[in-house]
Amino acid sequence: MAEDPGLWSDPQAAQKVMQERDVLKTSFERIAHVQEELDEAVTLIELGEMEEDASTTQEGEKALETLAKRCERLRLESLLSGEADNNDCFLEIHAGAGGTEAQDWALMIQRMYLRWAERHDYKIEWMSEVSGEEAGIKSSTFKVLGHQAYGWLKTENGIHRLVRISPFDSNSKRHTSFASVSVYPVIDDNIDIIVEEKDMRIDTYRASGAGGQHVNTTDSAVRITHIPTGVVVQCQNQRSQHKNKAEALSMLKARLFELELQKRENEAQAANASKSEIGWGHQIRSYVLHPYQMVKDLRTNVEKGNPTAVLDGEIDDFLEAALAAKLAG
């Protein structure tokens, strides 16, 4: 179909076909790569056994273990068949109560997701960022662009809790801080979300010094409040107020779409009393830096004893476990 000369008579449809082709091509390449690595690992084991070389055999077995983990991730990817799982997504972070301490934690969370995105070759596009008075951020919103970005990150909705000795406390006391994370899909023109003018309040403001390092400091920033739901979105990454308004409206539609997806999920959960509810406003993960070192997901009980690595973007184990539990339910 991609070779059909008449395809480009509709550029939008053609672009979608080409994107689907690229996704399929990547999937086939991954499967072929897995087969190659499997053959190499089996050959190593056979060679090690034939020559009674324990180190070669162990190398092959280790390669198989690594490959098994990659295959499990590919299996989960194949199951991401939700309405928006293949889409890009918006990721929104808000510091909880607690001033500088919470704002610093929000910045740490932001860096964690940026490092994860970098590890997986996702691109980032900034929407808005509001810096804290002394350190950290009050809030930020950015777009994660790449294959199945929403599918992988959608289970990150919720409250993230940090326990540590505060670097901002001269008495070196232990503090608990919270940050909320919201993930919602970028929607395309095939998903029709109608937002009436009367249901919106549109404010413009200047993204000045506290606007964050990733956004423009101009008078063009736009904030839209959806009155019926109370959803608030803002965009300040463009110098044009018109472009910021269009981007903010796109974000609002995406949030409303995500709310509808969440509504459907909650209805499905209500029909299954044995399944615990996972949603916005619920604590999902605890990051303890003192008196011991541990990151624990409260939904799946997955634990990691290296918070430094987790906060440097190594969150795949948490994402995969949460996704597997969601798909199993």
Query: Which pLDDT belongs to residue 5?
Result: 65
Secondary element (H or E) of residue 227? none
Q: Are 233 and 129 found together in one domain?
A: yes
Is pLDDT of 244 > 70? yes
Instruction: Judge if 179 and 64 occupy the same domain.
Output: no
Model pLDDT for residues 198-243, shown as the tens digit of each residue: 999 999 887 654 556 666 656 688 999 999 999 999 998 888 888 9
Q: Residue 132's Cα: distance from chain center in Å?
A: 23
Domain count, the chain: 2
Residue among 94, 141, 95, 83 nearest 258 (CA): 83
Question: What pLDDT was estimated at residue 306?
Answer: 97
Alpha carbon of residue 317 to chain centroid = 14
Asked if residue 127 belongs to a domain, the reply is yes
93 - beta bridge partners?
140, 181
Residue 113 shares a structural domain with residue 161: yes
Q: What tokens does 87 get?
A: 């889409």
> Is 208 in the same domain as 135?
yes
Among the candidates 78, 99, 130, a domain finishes at 78
pLDDT of 71 > 90? The answer is no
Per-residue pLDDT, averaged over 63-69, amounts to 88
Long-range contacts of 217-223 (CB under 8 A, 24+ apart): 220/244, 221/128, 222/247, 222/248, 223/248
pLDDT in tens, 155-194: 999 999 999 998 887 787 889 999 999 999 998 766 678 8
Query: Is the distance from CB of 187 to CB of 253 less than 8 angstroms?
Result: yes
Q: Are residues 214 and 270 in the same domain?
A: yes
Do 66 and 134 have their domain in common?
A: no
Give tens-digit pLDDT for 289-301.
999 999 999 999 9
Predicted local confidence at residue 169, as pLDDT: 79
Same domain, 42 and 106: no
- In which domain, by residue range, is 124 found? 89-328
Same domain, 109 and 235: yes
Give the percent of the chain with pLDDT over 90.
50
pLDDT for residue 97: 85
CATH of the domain at 293: 3.30.70.1660
pTM of the entire predicted model: 0.74
Q: Where are the alpha helices (DSSP H) in 122-180?
A: 149-153
Distance CA 142, CA 235 (A): 10
Last residue of a domain, one of 78, 98, 123: 78
Q: Are residues 40 and 102 in the same domain?
A: no
Tell me how far the alpha carbon of residue 165 is from its chain's centroid. Answer: 27
Q: In this structure, is residue 83 part of a structural domain?
A: no
In a domain? residue 155:
yes
Domain annotation covers residue 290: yes
Contact 170, 186 (CB under 8 A): no
Whether 95 and 53 share a structural domain: no
Same domain, 119 and 55: no
Q: Which of 19, 51, 78 is the last residue of a domain?
A: 78
Tokens encoding 221: 């920033």
By the 10 Å C-beta count (0-12 exposed, 13-18 middle, 19+ buried), 60 is classed as: buried
Tokens of 102: 């919470």
For the chain, give the mean pLDDT: 85
Residue 84 lies in a domain: no
| Domain identity same for 283 and 183 | yes
pLDDT in tens, 121-168: 999 999 999 999 899 999 999 999 998 999 999 999 999 999 999 888
Kindly tell me if the per-residue pLDDT of 276 is higher than 60: no
